[in-house]
Structures are given as structure tokens and as C-alpha cells.
Amino acid sequence: MSSASDVSRLREIFADSILEVVEFRGEQTVRVMLAALHDVLAQCRNDLGYEMVLDISSVDHFEDDPRFEMVYELASVDDSKRLRVKAAVAENESVPTATDLWAGADWHEREVWDMMGIPITGHPNLKRILMWDGYPFFPLRKDFPLAGRPSEMPDVAFTGVAPLEGGPFVTCAGAANTVLREPRARVVE
């Protein structure tokens, strides 16, 4: 079977819960209702042969409703099939865990919670993975200021000038070729 035939099978089983199917450059994406997300993922894992979750991420569609979107990248072990499953999530909604389907979902879901603030229900260990416990913000949200926020813990986090800013290496993003774009030692005049 191929990913395209798997999408057809998902349409048969979850007809009312499949909101959109997109094929782009041979990649299949299925957008599903949040209420059916876990069932669709379970079908992919148990019956369609997607033994691996490669990535779980989230997108902030700031000022849209629903604001967030969960994205699951699935694959078969032999890498013959890949499938992307997406589900929209409102600010006040939570997402069911996929750790009961793939052990590898654990850290990905913790990162989604830590960086975006989307709660994952049923997760066995939902705590921060990158930021420290008690940090009250979610840094990957689009309304998080680029300069950061003031911290009560200056020895752990700060919003002042980064130590390497203006440091010994520079890049030139608009350079004509890759050699000129590579980081190199700053020439001090």
C-alpha cells in the first residue's frame, strides 16, 4: 500500500472527521477534527503500518481561530510510506497524547507543551523539557516578544545583551555565494 491509498482508507473510516486532504510533491497531508485525532493516529499506527512518529510539532496561527495546529509526521520503518496528520486546536483546548501509540511521542509532546503551551491530556510526564519549572511563558508563541521578558532569575535567564552579540564571528545573509555567507572571524578595524 501507498500513503495515497492509506489516505483513501482513512477517508472511508473517518469520513465526517476528515476536513481536508492535500497532496503536494508526493507528500500526503490529512487535516482532521481534534475530536478524532487520537483515533486517526491509532488507525495509522495499528492498521496502516506507520510504526514511527518522526516529529510532533505545533504552529501558532496568531489572531486566527482556532489559533494553534498540531502536526504529526508519521513513517513506516522501511520508509516506504510517510503521512502528515494535522489538527486545529483552540486556545482553551487540549490534545490527547500519542505516547500510548508511539513511545517517541513523549519528548515531542513535552516540547509542544513547553514552547507553545498546548496541554496534552493523558501524557505520563507532562513537564517542561527546555525551560525551567515555574517559567510562566511559552516562547514559541507569536505574541512572545523577540527581546524576551524580564526574569526574576537573572543567573538563569536574562534579557540583556547576549554575551556573544557582536562577538568574534559574523555572517552575511545576503552574500552572493555560500563561502561569503559562512560564519567567519570578524575583522576589527
User: Tens digit of pLDDT per residue, the chain (189 long)?
Assistant: 799 999 999 999 999 999 999 999 989 999 999 999 999 999 999 999 999 999 999 999 999 999 999 999 999 999 999 999 999 999 999 999 999 999 999 999 999 999 999 999 999 999 999 988 888 889 999 988 877 777 666 565 555 544 445 555 556 666 677 666 665 555 555
Total number of domains in the chain: 1
Identify whether 25 is part of a domain: yes
Three cell numbers, residue 112: 509542544
Q: Residue 30: which of 12, 11, 46 has the closest Cα?
A: 11
Identify whether 181 is part of a domain: no
Strands 82-89 and 68-75 turn out to be antiparallel
At 186 the pLDDT is: 54
Identify whether 175 is part of a domain: no
Per the structure, the complete domain to which residue 88 belongs is given by 3-150
Identify whether 63 is part of a domain: yes
Radius of gyration of the chain measured on its C-alpha atoms: 21
At 154 the pLDDT is: 57
For residues 18 and 37, give the distance between their C-alpha atoms in angstroms, rounded to a whole number: 10
pTM of the model: 0.79
**Residue 41: strand, helix, or coil:** helix
At 85 the pLDDT is: 98
Identify whether 179 is part of a domain: no
For residues 163 and 169, give the distance between their C-alpha atoms in angstroms, rounded to a whole number: 12
At 176 the pLDDT is: 72
At 159 the pLDDT is: 53
